[in-house]
Structure 1
Amino acid sequence: MTASSGRTGRPPLTEARKAEIRLEIARAAVELFVAQGVAATTGEQIGQAVGVSARTVWRYFPSKESCVRPLFSAGIDVIAARLPDWRPGHALEDLFDPELATGLLAATGPDGATGSALVRLTRTEPGLRAIWLQTYDEAEPAFARALADRAGLPADDLRPMIQAAMLNAALRAAVERFAWRGGEAGTDAGEGTDAVMGEVDVAGALRSALVIVAEGVS
């Protein structure tokens, strides 16, 4: 009898499991960055928090700062998926209700305080800032495609491209303002008073920003 020539060892990871590992690493990195700072955090510490080696961390991410990217992009993906539901005749800000905010928080993982602390770190940590801005930059074409499809226009039409840029900038500005003010609900569009950080406040900040976008540049 001849020995079997079949492969032995661990079966290959599925794409779903790889995504789970990336998110687990991202959440661990956020907790460490917020607790002790980016400079003091090592790949070994991130790996230990997840139960994997530092080598595994670097297999998924090129740098420790880039570990948080899944948390930045997950929320944007939720918004992009919601855009096709924006029907003609409905205000753009109506997309951002508590239900959507729940989806955003569920996608990113950290609680509101930790997530906002991470965004605040992008103000002082150049590496995190670069990942934050790059994530939004890469989201813009997805927004443009969704808006073009909604209007029945070509994907490279100037109007959805400009609308996507405005939407993208408004979302980022709203999240940054909300985080940097410690979770205080925005009042620029006359919408709110000081509130506890939570789902309704996130939705309120986004809605306030989009009210301003809808008004356009006079």
Structure 2
Amino acid sequence: MAQQTSDRIGRPPLTERRKAETRLEVARAAVRLFLAKGVADTSAEEIAAEVGISVRTLWRYFPSKESCVMPLLTGGIEHTAACLSAWRRDQGVSELLEMLTAGRVASREELVAMMNLVRLTRTEPGLRAVWLEAHREAEPAFAEALAHRAGLAEPNLVTAVQAAMINGALRVTVEHHAFHPDRPESLAAATAEALVVAARGLPT
């Protein structure tokens, strides 16, 4: 009985996991349709039908058809915030990179969808707004995690700037990787390089 209780505490209930899976399915379907038809010519009804849910259910999950792609973005951001929260003061950047790369591993399907989504942000203003909003919401979470690591009650200017540097490094890295698919390095390797550059700060 104790083990069952621990399992329930350790991970979300089945219904919550199913909702998260459905939201991710919707996000991938939306990207496929946006890629094929464009955002303007894709309807909410088509996105819902692609996943096998009702339009009413779609609107319960998302406020707009553009926001349907958000689950492809939030997973990596939440993972980064969790790693920053677990990053101890006696650990360096190399340990943070290990946590970032050894933890959450997106499926190939999810990674392809995210890269396609980021490419679409160059021509679809609505998707660009969602992409930027995801990173705007991420920055305070990063700052809170860094403040906790520094033993502060709340973020100060230093942790806010550090959070902005990490956030910017992640955004630019994903965009660079998406816009240059011929580059040989993996996204994980590119992310690690970008975070090391951010950690070094400005040239003297």
* CA–CA separation in structure 2 for the residues paired with 1:165 and 1:155: 15
* Structure 1 pair 104–65 and aligned structure 2 pair: CA distance change class (3 A): farther
Paired residues of 2:83 and 2:99 also in contact (CA < 8 A)? no
Which stretch of structure 1 is more off in the superposition, 91-100 or 175-184?
Answer: 91-100
| Matched letter for residue 198 of structure 2 | V
Paired residues of 2:147 and 2:153 also in contact (CA < 8 A)? yes
Corresponding residue for residue 168 of structure 1: 167
1:151-195: per-residue Cα shift (whole Å, max 9, x none)?
1122132211111111111110111111111152xxxxxxxxx24
Corresponding residue for residue 212 of structure 1: 197
Corresponding residue for residue 42 of structure 1: 43
Corresponding residue for residue 153 of structure 2: 154
State the identity %.
52
* CA–CA separation in structure 2 for the residues paired with 1:177 and 1:101: 22
Q: How many residues align?
A: 190
Please give the residue correspondences for 1:74-93 in structure 2 after superposition, counting only pairs within 5 Å.
74-88=75-89, 90-92=91-93
Please give the residue correspondences for 1:96-175 in structure 2 after superposition, counting only pairs within 5 Å.
96-97=97-98, 100=101, 103-106=104-107, 110-175=109-174
| Matched letter for residue 127 of structure 1 | G
* Structure 1 pair 112–22 and aligned structure 2 pair: CA distance change class (3 A): closer
Look up the SS of the partner of 1:103 in the other structure.
coil
* CA–CA separation in structure 2 for the residues paired with 1:205 and 1:74: 18
* Structure 1 pair 110–40 and aligned structure 2 pair: CA distance change class (3 A): farther
| Matched letter for residue 17 of structure 1 | R
Q: Tell me the TM-score normalized by structure 2.
A: 0.82
Corresponding residue for residue 61 of structure 1: 62
Paired residues of 1:101 and 1:203 also in contact (CA < 8 A)? no
* CA–CA separation in structure 2 for the residues paired with 1:145 and 1:163: 11
Which stretch of structure 1 is more off in the superposition, 37-46 or 82-91?
Answer: 82-91
* CA–CA separation in structure 1 for the residues paired with 2:131 and 2:105: 16
Paired residues of 2:83 and 2:100 also in contact (CA < 8 A)? no
Shift of 1:101: 6.6
* CA–CA separation in structure 2 for the residues paired with 1:145 and 1:98: 18
Paired residues of 1:84 and 1:146 also in contact (CA < 8 A)? yes
Paired residues of 2:79 and 2:100 also in contact (CA < 8 A)? no
Structure 1 spans left out of the alignment, 5+ residues: 1-12, 185-193, 196-200
| Matched letter for residue 72 of structure 1 | L
* CA–CA separation in structure 1 for the residues paired with 2:144 and 2:58: 33
1:114-144: per-residue Cα shift (whole Å, max 9, x none)?
3211111111110000010011101111101
Paired residues of 1:96 and 1:203 also in contact (CA < 8 A)? no
Structure 2 spans left out of the alignment, 5+ residues: 1-13
* Structure 1 pair 17–166 and aligned structure 2 pair: CA distance change class (3 A): same
Corresponding residue for residue 29 of structure 1: 30
Which stretch of structure 1 is more off in the superposition, 97-106 or 137-146?
Answer: 97-106
Q: Tell me the TM-score normalized by structure 1.
A: 0.78
| Matched letter for residue 151 of structure 2 | G
Shift of 1:113: 3.0
